[in-house]
Amino acid sequence: MSAFERPAWRSRAVPVVLVVVAVLIMAMCTVGAEGPAARVIPVLICGGAATAAAWAVRRWRADRAEYERRLTAWAATEAVLAERLHIARDLHDLVSHGLGLITVRVAATRYEPEPAQMRAALDDIEAVSRETTAELRRMLTVLRDPASPGPRAPLEGLDALPAIVGSARTSGLRAELTVGDLGEVTPGVQVAVCRTVREGLANSARHAGPVDVVVRVRRDGPHVIVSVSDSGPAAGWRATPGAGHGLAGLRERVTSLGGTLTAEPVDGGFHLVARIPDEPR
């Protein structure tokens, strides 16, 4: 539902036009009458009707211009709100991913007996916490001020995939990335690919713990295929599921591009596959 009601088309000229039509009908009724009044009244009525009609035309045009101005302002407001929602969703993905990594890294620290490994884990947690806090501030800035679209995080491209996989390794995942020859990929599909990899790794980290994960990105004709597969929960790992919004948001993003998303258990592990159409040029 829109936050602001769409402007309705109304004109004060419409009642005047109806009155003019009624007056003209009355004037026509005097045709055939005799006497001075019969000659003067029709002239006066027709003159008044013509004046009213001219005013109605000018009023109609002014009201139409005002309506188009209000409609343009409404459309601009709707565009800003839609963009703000899009920004908030993107930043929500980044923040929830960061918080998920922190949770998983803290849980995995229990299995690190060496002090050096403990310090490394704390360093990782601190780095992810700082980045997540910065993104959270950005999200709050976007949502707090309705007068401006707010800052926007730069769009992720395919060149961000190694960093995304590397970040997942800090949570204990043994992640492997394979990227085939994709050719030219549109920016929107690149963002969807990164979101798919990020969500797939986050799910594996939460549900399976420090396990082997294989990330593959390849082209199949007019489609870009992204798959994230893990080997199943680690021994003794206790899953820390999220709120469940990640996959729902990812499915919405992929389907909005005309693609499909499947997420299902396979051979004891979990398999996430996105098939996104993107015509090569």
CA distances from 130 to 69, 113, 136, 246 (A): 45, 25, 10, 21
- DSSP code per residue over 165-185: HHHHHTTT-EEEEEE----S-
Residue 276, CA distances (Å) to 96, 123, 248, 250 in order: 23, 36, 16, 12
Each residue's pLDDT tens digit in the chain (281 positions)?
Answer: 455 567 666 666 666 667 666 766 666 665 555 656 556 666 666 776 677 777 777 877 887 888 888 888 777 777 666 656 766 666 666 666 667 677 777 776 766 667 777 777 777 777 777 777 766 666 666 566 655 544 444 567 889 899 889 888 877 788 999 999 988 888 778 888 998 998 888 888 888 878 899 999 999 989 999 999 998 887 777 766 655 567 777 887 788 788 999 988 888 888 999 999 987 54
- Residue 178 main-chain phi, psi, to 5 deg: -130, 120
Q: Which residue has the tokens 């549900």?
A: 207
